[in-house]
Amino acid sequence: MPGRLKKFDEFFQRKAAEGGNVVAMARMGSAMRERGDLAEAETWFRKAAMGGDRVSMTSLAHLLAERGAQDEAERWYHEAALAGEPHGMLNLARSYERRGKREDAQHWYGEAARTGDLPSIAALGHLLREQRRTEEAETWLRQAADAGITSAMIDLGMVLRDRGQAAEASRWWRSAVQAGDLAATCQLGRQAERLGRPGDAESWYRQGATGGHVEAIVRLGLLLHRRGDLEEAENWYLDAAERGDPAAMTNLGVLARNRGDEGEAAAWYRKAAEHGSVPALTNLGHLAEHRDDLAEAERWFRRAAETGDVQGMLSLARMLRSRGSGHEAEQWLARAEHVQGDREHHF
């Protein structure tokens, strides 16, 4: 009987939608999405959105984004945001942030946050923390953290850590771990390392790593690598590399080179570079330089330097100076010094 009733309900819902009822159109879109018929879902959401249903605007934008139509998705998020739909505002802000339009992102995170939308409150706090606007960030992050948003707990811990309130930072990170967010194990592990407690750091990283958190896997690998437990370190790096982590791939290259296998090292560095690792570019330059292929070494160092990597800049400057291009070398050294100065100022 329930199945027959459901069919009758869908029949009348479809009739109402075909008759121009916007609410029925939105419900048909949701029903088709749940069924997996995304093309028909998109059709109904589009009709409902064009009829002024703001939630359908956001739902349509989600479907468009999922199939790669990012520009049209952003336009519908914008329409939903203008209509006052919080999830439209949130996703519009995320889209702007991905494109580097941070002021626009902050505006829409703020608009959504003021509706009480918790993910937006957490996202606004995160963006403000990244901008070093810590007092504003803390206000929003505490609100989201108190409501149980674990990403806000982690960000709030970072704000408190930077202010020297390590104990309270730890409490928030522990709360995030207890709530199931293993990203906080990395913060707790890093804090333990800074305090000279490698055993505690290892315990936190292992908890995150055994739970499958990629950053924790890599950090555990690094800790083991540094103390000479190379076989276990390599196993963890391989685990993270299989999950697509470029830092793990780079570190596998380092292990291979240290045992004299430059072919394997180059293969890992290239794979890491393909996945976005800048240190891998510099390491490829060092390998080329070691085999006296100076032209290739310079190409790799230049690629790393052009991303803003200090080691790439320094290595490129050294090569340029050795072949008599002192003026360009000085330019790269000046850029490296500027980047290092910025990092010291911010961190």
User: Model confidence over 189-230: pLDDT tens digits?
Assistant: 999 999 999 999 999 999 999 999 999 999 999 999 999 999
pLDDT given for residue 7 in this prediction: 55
- Residue 2: the pLDDT is 53
Average pLDDT score over residue span 58-65? 97
Rounded Cα–Cα distance for residues 145 and 127 (Å): 15
Classify residue 212 as left (phi > 0), alpha (psi -120 to 50) or beta: left
> Which one-letter DSSP state was computed for residue 222?
H
The residue length of the chain stands at: 347
68 has pLDDT over 50: yes
Q: Is 90 exceeded by the pLDDT of residue 265?
A: yes
Confidence band (pLDDT; 50, 70, 90) for 5? very low
* 117 confidence band (pLDDT: 50, 70, 90): very high
| Percentage of the chain exceeding pLDDT 90 | 90
pLDDT at residue 104, as a whole number:
96
* Mean of pLDDT values over 223-251: 97
Helices (H), 165-213: 166-178, 183-194, 198-210
CA distances from 286 to 152, 226, 266, 318 (A): 41, 21, 10, 12
The span from the CA of 143 to the CA of 164, in Å, is 21
Q: How confident is the model at residue 236 (pLDDT cuts 50, 70, 90)?
A: very high
**CA geometry: angle 56, 62, 63, nearest 5 deg:** 90
Q: Is the pLDDT at 1 greater than 90, yes or no?
A: no
pLDDT beyond 90 at 9: no
- What are the residues whose beta carbons fall under 8 Å from the beta carbon of 289, sequence distance 6 or more? 297, 319
Residue 4: per-residue pLDDT: 52
Q: Quick one: pLDDT at residue 14?
A: 87
What's the half-sphere exposure (Cβ side, CA atoms, 13 Å) at 30?
Answer: 13
Q: Are 185 and 205 in contact (CB under 8 A)?
A: yes
User: What is the average pLDDT value for the chain, to the nearest integer?
Assistant: 93
Query: What pLDDT digit, counting tens, does each position of 120-170 carry?
Result: 999 999 999 999 999 999 999 999 999 999 999 999 999 999 999 999 999
Residue 344 has pLDDT above 80, yes or no: no
Percent of the chain clearing pLDDT 70 (strictly above): 96
pLDDT digits (tens, 9 = 90+) for 165-185: 999 999 999 999 999 999 999
CA 163 to CA 150: how far, in whole Å? 20
- Cα 288 to Cα 273, 298, 301: the distances in Å are 15, 9, 10
Averaged over 4-14, what is the pLDDT?
66
Whether residue 15 is predicted with pLDDT greater than 90 in this model: the reply is no
| pLDDT value of residue 346 | 36
Residue 341 has pLDDT above 80, yes or no: no
CA distance 17 to 87: 24
